[in-house]
Amino acid sequence: MDPILSVHVKLLAVDLLSLRIQPSDPPTFTHNSRPVSRAETLGVVVSRERKDKFLKFLVDDGTGCIPCILWLNHHMFASRFHPIDLELKMQMALEYAEKIQLGILVSVRGRFTAYRGIIQITVADVVVERDPNMELFHWMDSIRLSRQYNDANKKLPPQSIPTLDSGKNPVQFDLKK
């Protein structure tokens, strides 16, 4: 199992919107051909729609808008959780819903889901950021981690790696010039 599957990957909206959905039950998502299931993103809340069962909102990080959904009716998960845990989850969801207001900077963590073919984040955690520099730090972290990840995945083909056992000099100089 790929270790990146079980961590919250820091993604920008442009990365999230380029995820590929693999048809399965439940659907799986891939980023650069590796499976991912969770994300962390940060941006400004630009849209907010509250219903009885959920709060739907958009987070704009400067590269695009990320659809997020926060479920408020946790009774549908009653069979999976202890009643005390369920009550705490419901209280936390209501607190998060009150925190999420238009124009504020939020950090959102959750898992990927798809609704009518659109990828969204089902929210597990929301933090209101008071420091506007956090958006820049998130950008820098996302880019740095993406570069590290991409550099780690670049592999040279076996025939292009020089070895001393091959009898050929790995470095050749043209001294006749």
Residue 161 lies in a domain: no
What's the chain's average pLDDT? 78
Where are the extended beta strands (E) located within the chain?
8-10, 20-22, 28-31, 34-36, 38-50, 54-60, 65-71, 105-115, 118-128
Residue 156 lies in a domain: no
18 confidence band (pLDDT: 50, 70, 90): confident
Domain that holds residue 61: 3-145
CATH number (domain holding residue 11): 2.40.50.140
| Six token digits for residue 59 | 């987070």
Percent of the chain with pLDDT over 70: 71
Residue 174 lies in a domain: no
Residue 112 lies in a domain: yes
Residue 50 lies in a domain: yes
Q: Per the structure, how many domains does the chain have? A: 1
Residue 14 lies in a domain: yes
Q: According to the model, what pLDDT value does residue 131 have?
A: 93
- pTM (predicted TM-score): 0.73
User: Which residues is 8 bridged to in the sheet?
Assistant: 38
